[in-house]
Amino acid sequence: MTASPTNRSGYVAIIGRPNVGKSTLLNRLIGQKLAITSHKAQTTRHTILGIKTREDGQMVFVDTPGLHQRGSSALNRYLNRAARSVIGEVDLVLFVVEAGRWTHEDDQALTALAVAGTPVIAVINKIDRLGDRTRLLPYLEALGARHGFRDLVPVSAVRGDQLDVLESLIMAVLPERENLFPSDQITDRSERFLAAELVREQLMRRYGDELPYRTAVEIEHFEDLGGRYRIHALIWVERPGQKAIIIGDKGEALKAAASEARQQMQRMFDCPVHLEVWVKIRKNWSSDEAALASLGYREH
């Protein structure tokens, strides 16, 4: 009698300071866009599960907001809590850093990880940016000396380099057990949630350095009209001046953002989308715990 092949499955947290490429890595590993990305730090506000099923098992990735110390508003406190709470609850942590760079924030994130005692694989991302490849070896040596990592894997999330190697190393660490989710499920989030995230992505990408952090997106209406979706989104801001900036001269700025978000939704949902976006004012939403909860920023 031949033994049946081993099935492995487990939760894998993706942890690292803001902007190292965690969301890009998740999207690439899943093979579909789930998490929004931008060049601004702290784009990720919510924890998203991304599920990848293979013949030999299942990896359930947990994309967390970056671990960071800055800021003391309720939103920042929420982001920190969300990242810290998952570390002790997963089977493996991917600690993502940027090739050639080590900052105080990387150090803080690693210190927080080490306390939990969960196995950690170091993922050295953005190797495509490293002009001189000979710099990689001393970087890996220095990183390896900082923690007892299971493995150190240089990758490029943008190009997809070395991700097959990373996947094999992840699978080897996961416990032997049945799959945690049905094999055709790729996320725990609703299409409604993903739609809000796509509008927020445009805000992050298009507007100044501060403004996007003072906004929130709510999907007021989401309707499946049989093969096409009708979606109404609200962008919450704190002041009239912010509203004027988002709408722009003759409404041009908002029109462009909504048009791009709509195209992204069509790609994600694979059907025509009719999208309407309004901007409304709600004072101090980002420092008000009750307002945060009503906009979906609560732990789950």
The residues of the shown chain that bind ligand GTP, judged by CB under 6 A, are 16, 18-24, 37-39, 41-44, 66, 125-126, 128-129, 156-158
Distance CA 161, CA 164 (A): 8
Are 169 and 151 in contact by the 8 Å Cβ rule? The answer is: yes
Check whether 227 is labelled as a binding-site residue. Answer: no
Are 122 and 149 in contact by the 8 Å Cβ rule? The answer is: yes
User: Whole-number minimum distance, CB 134 to ligand GTP, in Å?
Assistant: 19
Looking at beta carbons, which residue is closest to ligand GTP? 21
Check whether 125 is labelled as a binding-site residue. Answer: yes
Distance CA 96, CA 100 (A): 12
User: Whole-number minimum distance, CB 16 to ligand GTP, in Å?
Assistant: 6
Distance CA 125, CA 154 (A): 6
User: Whole-number minimum distance, CB 251 to ligand GTP, in Å?
Assistant: 28
Check whether 27 is labelled as a binding-site residue. Answer: no
Identity of the amino acid at 299:
E
User: Whole-number minimum distance, CB 219 to ligand GTP, in Å?
Assistant: 20
Check whether 76 is labelled as a binding-site residue. Answer: no
Q: How far is CA 212 from CA 141, 162, 204, in A?
A: 38, 33, 5
Check whether 17 is labelled as a binding-site residue. Answer: yes
Q: Which is nearer to ligand GTP, 213 or 285 (CB)?
A: 213
| DSSP conformation letters of 17-30 | STTSSHHHHHHHHH
Check whether 21 is labelled as a binding-site residue. Answer: yes
Are 15 and 85 in contact by the 8 Å Cβ rule? The answer is: no
Distance CA 279, CA 249 (A): 14
Q: Which is nearer to ligand GTP, 41 or 279 (CB)?
A: 41
Strands (E), 112-243: 120-125, 151-154, 216-224, 229-237
Check whether 19 is labelled as a binding-site residue. Answer: yes
Q: Which is nearer to ligand GTP, 42 or 286 (CB)?
A: 42
Q: Which is nearer to ligand GTP, 217 or 231 (CB)?
A: 217
Q: Which is nearer to ligand GTP, 44 or 242 (CB)?
A: 44
User: Whole-number minimum distance, CB 271 to ligand GTP, in Å?
Assistant: 26
List the binding residues: 16-23, 63-67, 125-128
List the binding residues for GTP: 16-23, 63-67, 125-128
